[in-house]
Every structure is written in C-alpha cells, then in structure tokens.
Amino acid sequence: MTQFKEPYYLVEFDSSIVNFEIFINDMPAFIHHSGGAIFSHVPINHFILESGRQNVKINILPLKGNTNLKEDGSVKIKVFCYDSSTTNYENTIEAFRFEKIDFSENNLPIKNFTKEFNAEVNYEIKGWKNSYLLKDNLNKEEIIKYFKVLYTAFKEKNIESIFHEMKNKFDGWSGKY
C-alpha cells in the first residue's frame, strides 16, 4: 500500500432483507436498521488513528419484528483503499471482506463478528487513545457547578459567555468554574 500517496479507506456494504451494524475500532461506521436492500460505501479514515492493525466488528440482525434472519437474506461488507491524490478510483486495494449470502443453515443473528485488517495511513490522530473512563474520574460537584454557570449564561442571555464556551468546547473544559 506504500504506493498510495494519500490512502483513503472506505467500507462498502451490500445487503438484502437484513439489518446490520459496522464498527471500525469500536466506533460506529454505519448502522442499517431499516431493512430492505442497500448498497453504498462510507469513508472510515476518521476511525483509523494510525497505521497498523484495525478492528472491524459486524452485527447482522433480523428485520424489525423478527427474531431470526431471513433465509434468503444476504450481506457483503468490504473495506478497501484507494489513493485520493489521484483520480484513479479503479486502482483499489481490498483490506477486508465478509460475505454471507445464505442464512438457511443458521438463521440466528450474528453479533460481534470481529476481525482485523491492516491499514497504512500517512497521519496519526490522537482521538480516543489518550482518553480515560469518565466513571473513574468523575467529579459530580464540579460538573454540576459547570452546568449551573452555563445555565445561568443562557438564562441571562450572556452572549459573550456563551460564545466563549462554544468557541472552546472542543479544547476541553478548563476547570475554571
């Protein structure tokens, strides 16, 4: 894959009369709960934090109101990559494939089918790698105090304070309240 200057990963799906969920590195990449048939693809680079092994999890679920999968249901899911620095969409590399076109032998839902694929990207996203469990670091008093200040700003229509909070919301809470 080193031949790709700008690797761009997508997950492609093709299904008929089943519902499914696709997770990339435990993040929901695509969820289909409306039955029927669907064929499309979505980008997944924002779920790939760095080069190396990536986790793909698939849940195949029955249609709403059913407990079993339809015998003639099918689902095909693949992860592929192409070089977005070119206009050659035909030059792709397949990284992962799952295909089930007959549920007659086992029509039970397939939950948490997990596999890995290798991805090479030319970036690193901090993402959730540096995160921590909120339940382990929860200070309820500080949270209540913060939301009271935010509530008061909205109640008093303090536009400057609201603007400041919204402007900095992705930088994290400064803890100054």
Cα separation, 33 vs 28, whole angstroms: 13
pLDDT of residue 130: 76
Cα distances (angstroms) measured from residue 71 to each of 7, 74, 98, 106, 166: 37, 9, 17, 8, 50
Query: Which residues have a Cβ under 8 Å from the Cβ of 164 and sit 6 or more positions away?
Result: none
Q: Per-residue pLDDT for the chain (177 aa), expressed as one digit of tens each?
A: 557 889 999 999 999 999 999 999 999 999 999 988 999 999 999 999 999 999 999 999 999 999 999 999 999 999 999 999 887 878 899 999 999 988 888 888 888 889 999 999 999 988 777 777 777 778 888 889 989 999 999 999 998 888 888 776 655 544 554
Cα separation, 169 vs 159, whole angstroms: 15
